Structure 1
């Protein structure tokens, strides 16, 4: 992508950017000329610290990112998420707390940021793009200890499609990416806990995805995908789930 005065570098906010898929997305977008602000638990170089488990955390993150990007955000990439187990026979308070935390971080905070993005895009005109990193669990479900994770990612897909349908006429585009297992810390822990070889046998490709593979798809949607693709959900799962 070539930047000129008429076509300035896109300004991008990426949540959950300090490791795994998020870090790979930042690296890929930066290499393609984008100006990127990331997000993590604490402030750092190019990273805004914000707790998305807290109500209002997403709004604070958006405001700080907007300030750092000189009042213009062109692309929002919602990648932050948690993948925490809770057993069906867990104590009631633990069950409720786990569902609340997962839905808050994975879905509500993403929704809050999408809302801010839509309002920002509409106010300044010219459209914008949203890329939500969901999961194959949105379609095929997940383990008995991860109902809440699957539900949060299904909600993210539904939200993405709603945004695409509602705002396409204003050139506000929305896409989702649904990875299967990706070799991040979360996936490594889960593979180990569930018996890695058995799970790998369920992936026809014979391996889990590399974060760079997911990042390449996210970067394409963020910077290059044609408008007619809005609402698309792209699978990156080694054919472990084919729709």
Structure 2
């Protein structure tokens, strides 16, 4: 495993699923992890086994996002090396066929949590690195739905929001590479998380979704986590700007 000793790493949405696996892997690699959670502190604590700084923040509130960044920097003695933008929300309703009030509510929440909050953290990180002349890396946890759309009509806001933050991350990669600021997007397919199970229930069930996958299994969160650790190591500088597909050959482009 890559050695991240001495690196200060933020992982958002560290309570469950991909975020929990990533925070756990970062801790195992020796990083000083600042683990964000929304409401499930116990989940974040379990994932990091008491070896991370846990900070709560409501990512629908941009002032809370700003406060989270300041607290994270303080916990890291003023220097963040890697930002893993993982926190996200995927509602199963709010599609075209749903009431307009539900549509508006789901879209507002998706844009706030999946776009505005991670973009704001990215802005903080890049500005700090530019001010100090330090190098850093942003790892966005995206989704294959940002390029192929989603088969779940209720998740249209999720797909759109993931595409938006992916484009923002690539824009950072293109514009700040010369300053040593790297940015990547990991785009998983069907991952073994509760969020994916809930989505599968809207599109035929777990068995039906699994039957469409060439490997006959869902992507384990640990695959995404280990990829994030590799990117955080800085050993793939010229991969900056890339979208890294992790879907078991279910979507090849």
TM-score, with length taken from structure 2: 0.90
Query: 2:129 aligns to what?
Result: 121
Q: Distance in 1 between matches of 2:229 and 2:60?
A: 26
Structure-2 residue corresponding to 1:28: 25
Q: 2:91 aligns with which of 51, 61, 84?
A: 84
Question: Deviations 1:93-138 (Å, cap 9, x if unpaired)?
Answer: 2211110101110111010000000011111212100000000001
Residue 40 (1) aligns with residue 37 (2): yes
- Where do 5+ consecutive residues of structure 1 fail to align? none
Q: Is the 8 A contact 2:95 2:157 kept in 1?
A: no
Distance 2:169 2:215 in 1: 28
Look up the match of 1:159: 168
Which of residues 203, 222, 228 in structure 1 aligns to 2:232? Answer: 222
| 1:173 matched to 2:182 | yes
Structure 1: distance between partners of 2:3 and 2:24: 17
For the residue of structure 2 that corresponds to 1:56, the secondary structure is helix
| Rounded Cα–Cα distance in structure 2 between residues aligned with 1:154 and 1:89 | 22
Show the 5 A alignment for 1:117-156. Answer: 117-142=125-150, 143-156=152-165
Matched residue count: 239
Pairwise mapping of residues 44-59 of structure 1 onto structure 2 (< 5 A)? 45=45, 46-59=53-66
Is the Cα–Cα contact under 8 Å of residues 115 and 162 in structure 2 kept in the other structure?
yes
Q: What residue is the counterpart of 2:72 in the other structure?
A: 65
Q: Deviations over 1:142-173 (max 9, x none)?
A: 12111111111111221111000000000000
Report what 1:14 is aligned to.
11
